[in-house]
Amino acid sequence: MIDLSLQILNWYNQNKRDLPWRDTSDPYKIWISEVILQQTRVEQGLSYYLRFVQRWPDVEQLATASEQEVLKMWQGLGYYSRARNLLAAAKQVLHDYNGVFPKTIAELQKLKGIGEYTAAAIASIAFEKPVPVIDGNVYRVISRIFDVENPIDTPQGKKHFKALADSLLDKKCPGNFNQALMEFGALQCIPKSPDCEICPLQSICLAFERKKVDQLPVKVNKIKVRKRFLNYFVLIGQLESQCFTFLRHRKAGDVWQGLYDFPCIETSEKKELHELENEAFFQNIKAIAQEVKPLPGLRKHVLTHQQLMVSFYVVKCKSGFEVLKNNSLSLVSQTELVNYPMPRLIDRFLQDNESLFDNCNKN
């Protein structure tokens, strides 16, 4: 076990990526990096991390931010509950711990959004607590080295992997070792077609010896994907010489909580425009619409548990359209759109259709 740990650390010292959160023991910055990198590739997450810590360099400043500010900064990363939890946890650290991060696993896990993995990462990397950190990369490396067929998504499997990871842990430098093991999985022992011929652990890897590399790790629970059909209505009108549209503030209980998208009619299957005419919201639109124009194509947007099939309709509105404003619909000027946090789907739609407001601007 000791030799394996040394080999991992030696490999890490020679091959690790130069990343800013590795040059600090600040628990705040380590926490931010770990949360951003959940479900996000390093290449994408790096720029978000840099912008995030520049805007809010410590936990106290983050705690005073608004949810809309944080969600806007997070826009494009997905899994927006991570951003909401960051803000809630920052407030906890400020109010419950006087702005000082707790050092124990138990106290760290009291913070909103911090589970066993993130608590272990902060405790070991920031405070050198001798606890293993187990992410998808670590599961993969350990399952292949020891040919472990225990499923990684069962309680028994997780318990077995935690014991193995703990036996490998270098107790003298747990933070460095945990990062080394995760980095080894990210760069060398990758999910598909790893280059085993140059792997320094090839001689002790049971999966390589038994030709099982592509079979590990094992999962038993498949994600069930739900298909949804969303019909978005982009309402455009002029008010006091400015172009306006409506944005819907998404509430709790569904994807994209706290973000803004367009008014929407959801259906159980693909519907054409004439098939939406009996919907209550469409009746409201008809009262103020000069023209309803469907945009070509059905867009597919894939989330972890959902597949969204999306249609867009552009509605040119007559005067008086502001009567649609209510608790869930906000009247937003064209110039203010950039201030609203939106799902990547909506943000890309606006980027791809910059000419939407042209006719309005000409009036």
The yes-or-no answer on residue 107 being catalytic is no
Q: How far apart are CA 73 and CA 38, in angstroms?
A: 16
User: How crowded is residue 334: how many other Cβ atoms within 10 Å of its Cβ?
Assistant: 16
Q: Which long-range contacts (CB under 8 A, 24 or more apart) does 102-111 make?
A: 103/127, 103/129, 104/129, 105/129, 105/131
Beta bridge partners of 238: 243
Decide: 197 and 143 in contact? Cβ < 8 Å: no
Q: How far apart are CA 249 and CA 234, in angstroms?
A: 14
- Among 151, 277, 269, smallest CA distance to 221 is for 151
Instruction: List the structure tokens of 274.
Output: 């004439």
- Among 83, 78, 79, smallest CA distance to 56 is for 83
Between the alpha carbon of residue 34 and those of residues 70, 182, 190, 204, 297, the distances in Å are 16, 12, 19, 30, 38
Q: Which long-range contacts (CB under 8 A, 24 or more apart) does 91-96 make?
A: 91/63, 93/59, 93/63, 94/59, 94/60, 94/63, 95/63
Strand 299-302 and strand 260-261: pairing?
unpaired
Strand 264-267 and strand 226-239: pairing?
antiparallel
What lies within 8 Å, CB to CB, of 241 at 6+ separation is: none
The DSSP line for 225-290 is PEEEEEEEEEEEEEETTEEEEEEEEP-TTSTTTT-EE--EEEESS---GGGGTTSHHHHHHHTTEE
- Among 82, 30, 87, smallest CA distance to 63 is for 87
> Which of the residues are catalytic?
34
